[in-house]
Amino acid sequence: MNNDLIERYIYAVTKRMPEKTKNDVSDELRGLIDDMLCERCGDVVPSEKDIKVVLTELGSPQELYEKYNTDSKKCLIGSPYYSTYKYVLKIVLICVGVGIVISVAASGMFDILKTAYAGEISEGISYAQPWINLFINIFTMLPSGMLWAFAFVTLLFAFFYHNDIKIDTSGNLDNLPPVPKKKQTISKSDSIVGIAFLVVFLMVFLLAPQIFCVIVTSKNLFIPIFNVEMIRAIWYIIVLFALAGVIREVVKLIERQYNKRVMITTIVVDIVSAVLAVWWLYSDRIINAEFSNNITTLFEEDFLINIFLNFNRFFLVCILFALILDAGTAVVKTLRK
């Protein structure tokens, strides 16, 4: 009797089963196939054709495996998360696409200006070179940025789906949210602009922090305000900052109105962002030493000198102010009756 075919069939059915059921199912199938062969052939030794008929009757190994597979979550992201996933994915991809194009274009324009102003044209490098670089950058950054965004959103929703994390609380009639008052609705475009802004912020600081600089045309000087090496060394702070902001905007996009969830998420995210901003900007390490040393020669007005002497703190205060404004707006709009 051709046991080999039967064993290969059983192996194909059970190979992806969990260890603890694998052997049991194998033994049971072996018994079943034997019973079916006895039924078909009686005492005669079954031929290979008989075995094939019996195995065909049982169906393909894949079909049989599917019948044994009781996992109720057979897909990566299923109902009721899928529709929200599609919606968020679409918006995040648009924002990341727009954000990358804007930020790469901004840093590319900087290079173009720099070439034009500072006359940094050595032999063999033409005026066209920065433009070519700009387009190369856009076409290399865009696919990888989109891929990252896609992977991030997909993994997030797969995690929600497989852990039954509720993202929509309007499950039963008592919890149906009230129709939002006009002043409590969150416009979709605000969140999209918010995400695009965060992506631009992230990309510019990750890829081209040198575009914040002072240009002294008379002396052919380019002095970056920030310490580019330090910014690159603590890149993760900016990534966390942008990520926190994106999560806040995604929650707003899902809820579409100011409510307790939006308020709490906003407050938590804004506090986290504030801590990250302080960590990032409080110390002078972030400022280019050459810039600090040259401030008095670069500017004449005392007002500007004061701002630039403490530029990191000035920048920090701006960010903190924006965060307080954001949290305050969420609280006021949520609690307003």
Cβ neighbours of residue 84 closer than 8 Å, sequence gap 6 or more? 157, 167, 168, 254
Cβ proximity to another protein: between 65 and 222 the closer is 65
Cβ neighbours of residue 297 closer than 8 Å, sequence gap 6 or more? none
Task: Give the single-character DSSP code of 47.
Answer: P
Cα separation, 295 vs 303, in Å, equals 12
Cα separation, 307 vs 302, in Å, equals 9
Q: Please tell me whether residue 143 binds another protein under the rule CB under 8 A.
A: no
Cα separation, 238 vs 250, in Å, equals 18
Which listed residue (8, 15, 67, 86) binds another protein by CB under 8 A? 67
The answer to whether residues 100 and 153 touch, using CB atoms and an 8 Å cutoff, is no
Q: Please tell me whether residue 34 binds another protein under the rule CB under 8 A.
A: yes
Count of residues interacting with another protein (CB under 8 A): 20
Which listed residue (7, 23, 31, 162) binds another protein by CB under 8 A? 31
Q: Please tell me whether residue 7 binds another protein under the rule CB under 8 A.
A: no
Q: Please tell me whether residue 68 binds another protein under the rule CB under 8 A.
A: yes
Question: What distances in angstroms separate CA 222 from CA 6, 84, 92, 113, 210, one per listed residue?
Answer: 76, 47, 35, 11, 9
Cβ proximity to another protein: between 33 and 238 the closer is 33
Which listed residue (36, 199, 223, 263) binds another protein by CB under 8 A? 36
Which listed residue (4, 7, 35, 229) binds another protein by CB under 8 A? 35
Cβ proximity to another protein: between 31 and 80 the closer is 31
Q: Please tell me whether residue 27 binds another protein under the rule CB under 8 A.
A: yes
Q: How far is the CB of 6 from another protein (least distance, A)?
A: 14
Q: Please tell me whether residue 28 binds another protein under the rule CB under 8 A.
A: yes
> Any idea which residue has 């030794």 for tokens?
45
Residues near another protein (CB under 8 A): 21, 24-25, 27-29, 31-32, 34-36, 39, 57-59, 63-64, 67-68, 70
